[in-house]
Amino acid sequence: MKGPNLSDWAIRHAASVRFILALSVLVGLVSFLELSRQEDPSYTVKNMIITVAWPGADAATVVNMIAEPVEDAILSLPDIEYVKSDAQPERITFNVKIRDDVSPSRVAQIWGQARQRVGDIRGRLPETIKGPSFDDDVGKTYGNIYAITGEGFPLEDLRPYARRLRSAIRMLPDAGRVEFAGFPEERVYIDYDPARLAALGVDPAMVSTAVRDAVAINPTGSIVVGPERIRLVLGQVAGSLSALREIPLAQAPGSLTLGDVAVISKQLTDPPTFQMRVNRAPAIGVLVNLRDGGDSNRLGQDIGRIVAQEQRNAPLGVRFVNVADQPAIVKHAIGEFLRSLLEAVVIVLAVSFFSLGTRAGLVVALCIPIVFALTFAAMYGLSIPLHRVSLGALIIALGLLVDDAIIVIEQIETSLRAGMGRLQAVISSYPLTAQPMLVGTLITAIGFLPIALAQSSSGEYARAIFEVVAIALGSSWIVAVIVTPLFANRLLANDGHAGAESKPVYATPFYGRARATVAWVIENWRIVVAGTALLVFLSALLFATIVPKQFFPASDRLELIVDLKMAKDGDWRNTSKVTARLEQLLVQNKDVASTAAYIGGTSPRFYLSLENQPPSPAFAQIVVKTRDHAARDRTIKWLRSTLNSSFPEVRGRVSRLELGPAVGQPIKIRVSGEDFDSIKTAADQVEAMMRADPRARDVNQDFGEPAKTVRINLDMEKARALGISRSSVQQALSSQLSGMAVAASPAGRDPMAIVARGEEVGRSGMVRLENVLVPTPSGASVPLLQVAQLTPGFEAVELHRRSGRPTITVQADVADIQPVDLLSSWTPRLETIRAQAAGRADIIVGGVVEDSKKSQLSVFKQVFAALVLILILLIMQVGSVKKLIIVLSTGPLALIGVAMILSLFQIPFGFVALLGALALFGMVSRNAVILLAQIDSLVADGFAMFDAIVEAAIMRFRPIILTTLAATLGMIPLTRSVFWGPMAWTIMGGLIIGTAVTLLFVPAIYAGIFAVRRSADGSTAHA
């Protein structure tokens, strides 16, 4: 390598280098202790939820009047991938997704543009809608959740404890957003008997008007007194219950007050829209988000101290229950990875000591902590936390970072055995190894570069693989050329002596047989190259047909997610009762440690890859924490059996947490068209196809069955004669049956809605509907049946659209098979359904297949950039197009080992394994680069070409095998990881087989490209 000899410089400045090393180790140790800890890497969730409420409207009207204009406005933005609309009676939710290739730094700007576009069309939307409301922070994760329960305490009495806990946590330096879940809201209810009001000549509208007037806060002006301006305040705002009872009904006959005609009380919202229960007890949740760059462990310790203090101060019966404890999970996960890292270090050191000997092994061993120290310091400087991906990348890098040190030690020992003095052997290793090692190191690191460049959520999730591996490999090269020679000069024996040159270095019988093998390979290069090409082809065929495919594996955490879906028109009270039945069974199960139920919606996002469901009174979710992994697996089977046998009214789903971006049910097939009538038949055919296959579980479609309705047909002639309008009928129905908010109470810490409604006995039953009293302008009231006819019917309760097109999604889980493989088996039947639906419906495969393709494509798009960089480095190193072709041809050889090991053990090939396969190209090519550099060195020393190829293969055999063993065996601890296991097996198989084939393939193809042959007299000829 041109330039100054860094090894020589290090030895001549040994004192300075030793000081820098000690300082580096100290800085690395401090950096490791200060690095923030997380369970998983964060990534940008490029979704925004827009919600619009329209009381009184049916789902179809919501679609026509709200969905279409909002979708058109948002889809006019070029960076939007899709808009999914979920229209239900009286409300609609839009899920807006930004394209994956959009930079995270632009997401906030795009959400601002979306708000502006929707705001621009607000005037085209119905006047009576509520909203739109925007939530562009749906990816916020609350890893710490505490529930406050109180035996014998009403839920509303627990609010002061929740507020105090939230206030204290907000002051912590690592706390981000702190929110409530299931916080009980109170309302003031004015319950009246419509018949009694009618008998007294009181119109319910009089009640509403009187209440609004009594609690209204309006400007009252000010007066100027001298130099001062004094604000005027009108007192007697009716805030208390007693004040509300004394409100006079001015338009009523006599001197009636509100308390004379109605019962006024303060109650929790009836019925609730959302409730949290922990171990069957109603609870208030306090949700804590870790701030960006915060330390999870430190936050957990600080919250623990606050909760302990609050628990000591709380009365008997009030408990603070830890529902989600991410710091504990992070601590356990990092502890497991650090143990795996230590195991990998021990394995690598064992390889080094066994193969290199005590002194040389000690040199390699001393290099490892220095490389780690430099890596941790760089991670701290670049704000790369310790988490699942970065720690796994460290273990991957461990097997690679000793390669350079082994190569340098091997070169020094070769020179020593050849009779060179120790100092000269150490210094001379630099020009022979520095440049090939640097090029090989860069090529290996660039093999991971497509991960860093991939514009997708999966790429963002896994980006730390490249960052950490590149830092570690770069540090390993620096240590190899500076630190390794320094230690070698002190620790290796000085074996150089006069006359040693006459002793052959590789004169053992083993190397004799190896020479004969390489010589045969060169002479029969056509057979070797053709046989290798055939192996690559067969491996590709094996990979395509037998190796199972997946996206990301399920998490190994102990929580289970149980989704309970009732009929679409289900009542919240019924949902609560059904959920309570299952909770009772769960707490009796010895495998279950705790439960947290959320009725009316999903759990707060305590885990980044948790899929959220839209709120619904007919939906509940239970987070079940099991005691261990075996208990988790038993509980899954028990829950599925229990739901099938004891809960026929529920569509239940039991699932583990996901790794990587959230997908939900893995199999999703979308059927889209111009209207729902034209796509329903195709959707039903797809669902029937899935249900016929026992490998598909929990098959469902999101169109659902229509719900019951009662259509009220107003007799307009009778209504006009009595002076009754549509709005008066609507108000009568709403207030007497459901209750109508008439004002907000200004008293107390929590503003409360004041709701006027008919008494409980009059708010249920079809008979009461018929007898709803509709007020007339004369003060009298008439039964609803006198002016209207009631007709039972049905209506759609949920209409889904995707980017403006009606869409039905048919989805399923899988049983004992990968989703990709199951979908592949359905391809013929699916094509038949497509052909039958041509022109009416488009059928698109979504779910993990679609997400996996997007993620893989985002990586493949960046392979070209990585390949260009590799080509530039290779041509600079080998200086020949022919040699460049040789190196490039070795990359695909790793596929042989990958296909063999994955198919043999049926290990799924997913996104993470793909990244390992791409990185293998650089790892295998690196060996070829080093081998070619040795050939060039021997030719420069006067060796004939044939002999140079043979001797280079012999001389590089030991270091290449040793580095391959170190890298391969160092992966063993990762094979136990659910997340990293497929990548570890991929690299192990590809590196072992790829390296073995490379040692024979490179001499063969070199001989073929350069037309090397041995003359009959034993000399070498070449073109």
pLDDT, tens digit, for every residue of 821-834? 888 889 999 999 99
pLDDT at 626: 94
How many Å is the Cα radius of gyration of the chain? Answer: 37
Residue 611 has pLDDT above 90, yes or no: no
Residue 950 tokens, joined: 């043979």
CA dihedral 723, 727, 731, 733 (to 10 degrees): 80
pLDDT at 501: 44
451 φ, ψ (degrees, to nearest 5): -65, -45
Residue 616, classed as helix, strand or coil, is: coil
Residue 201 tokens, joined: 């000549």
- Residue-wise pLDDT for 719-735, tens only, equals 888 888 888 888 888 88
| CATH fold for domain 508-546+879-1015 | Multidrug efflux transporter AcrB transmembrane fold (1.20.1640)
Q: Which residues contact 587 (CB under 8 A, 6 or more apart)?
A: 279, 280, 595
Asked if the 203-257+716-796 domain carries CATH number 3.40.50.2300, the reply is: no
User: CB of 100 within 8 A of CB of 80?
Assistant: no
Q: Name the residue among 492, 493, 482, 426 with its Cα closest to residue 14.
A: 482
Instruction: Give the mean model confidence (pLDDT) for residues 595-613.
Output: 87
Lowest mean pLDDT: which of 72-76, 519-523, 714-718? 714-718
Residue 933 to residue 6: CA distance in whole angstroms: 19
Label residue 912 by pLDDT band (50, 70, 90).
Answer: confident
Query: Quick one: 828 exposed, middle or buried, by C-beta within 10 A (0-12, 13-18, 19+)?
Result: exposed
Q: Name the residue among 81, 80, 97, 85 with its Cα closest to residue 46.
A: 97
Label residue 161 by pLDDT band (50, 70, 90).
Answer: very high
Residue 696 tokens, joined: 């598909």
Residue 516 to residue 200: CA distance in whole angstroms: 115
Q: pTM (2 decimals)? A: 0.80
Q: Name the residue among 537, 360, 555, 528 with its Cα closest to residue 1003.
A: 528
Q: Please, which contacts does 118-123 make with residues 24 or more away whose CB atoms are closer than 8 Å?
A: 118/50, 118/70, 118/73, 118/74, 120/73, 121/69, 121/70, 121/72, 121/73
Domain spans of the chain, in order of start: 1-34+358-493, 46-138, 203-257+716-796, 508-546+879-1015
Matching residue, tokens 């009772």: 584
Label residue 409 by pLDDT band (50, 70, 90).
Answer: confident
Label residue 308 by pLDDT band (50, 70, 90).
Answer: very high
Tell me if domain 1-34+358-493 and domain 203-257+716-796 are identical in fold: no
Lowest mean pLDDT: which of 47-56, 197-206, 380-389, 809-818? 197-206
pLDDT at 500: 40
User: CB of 265 within 8 A of CB of 188?
Assistant: yes
Omega cis (within 30) before 694: no
Omega cis (within 30) before 132: yes
pLDDT at 593: 93
CATH pick for 46-138 out of 3.40.50.300, 3.40.640.10, 3.30.70.1430, 3.40.50.2000? 3.30.70.1430
- Residue-wise pLDDT for 43-64, tens only, equals 888 889 999 999 888 888 999 9
DSSP code of 503?
A: S
Beta strands 1020-1021 and 1013-1014, pairing class: antiparallel
Residue 645 has pLDDT above 50, yes or no: yes
pLDDT at 252: 64
Identity of the highest mean pLDDT range in 162-176, 201-215, 777-791, 889-903:
162-176
Label residue 748 by pLDDT band (50, 70, 90).
Answer: low
Label residue 632 by pLDDT band (50, 70, 90).
Answer: very high
pLDDT at 502: 40
Angle at 683 between CA 677 and CA 685, to 5 degrees: 115
pLDDT at 498: 39
pLDDT at 781: 81
Residue 815 tokens, joined: 């049983």
Instruction: Give the mean model confidence (pLDDT) for residues 573-600.
Output: 94
Lowest mean pLDDT: which of 252-256, 358-362, 576-580, 585-589? 252-256
Residue 379 has pLDDT above 90, yes or no: yes
- Residue-wise pLDDT for 314-339, tens only, equals 999 999 999 988 888 888 877 877 78
DSSP code of 150?
A: E
* Average pLDDT of every residue of the chain: 85
Q: Name the residue among 161, 55, 155 with its Cα closest to residue 734.
A: 55
pLDDT at 38: 80
70 alpha-carbon distance from chain centroid = 28
Beta strands 186-192 and 752-758, pairing class: parallel
Residue 793 tokens, joined: 């019917």
Residue 214 to residue 401: CA distance in whole angstroms: 77
Residue 747 has pLDDT above 80, yes or no: no
Lowest mean pLDDT: which of 354-368, 885-899, 1003-1017? 1003-1017
CA quadruple 146, 151, 154, 160: dihedral sign? negative
Matching residue, tokens 């009959």: 1016
Residue 1015 has pLDDT above 60, yes or no: no
Residue 916 has pLDDT above 90, yes or no: no
Label residue 499 by pLDDT band (50, 70, 90).
Answer: very low
Percentage of the chain lying above the pLDDT 90 cut:
26
Residue 784 to residue 772: CA distance in whole angstroms: 5
Instruction: Give the mean model confidence (pLDDT) for residues 792-808.
Output: 87
Residue 505 has pLDDT above 70, yes or no: no
Residue 257, classed as helix, strand or coil, is: strand
Q: Name the residue among 524, 418, 522 with its Cα closest to residue 945.
A: 522
Residue 67 has pLDDT above 50, yes or no: yes
Instruction: Give the mean model confidence (pLDDT) for residues 545-567.
Output: 84
175 φ, ψ (degrees, to nearest 5): -85, 135
Q: Which CATH superfamily is domain 1-34+358-493 in?
A: Multidrug efflux transporter AcrB transmembrane domain (1.20.1640.10)
Residue 82 has pLDDT above 90, yes or no: yes
pLDDT at 983: 85
Residue 539 tokens, joined: 């491996």
Residue 465 to residue 369: CA distance in whole angstroms: 20
Instruction: Give the mean model confidence (pLDDT) for residues 360-389.
Output: 89
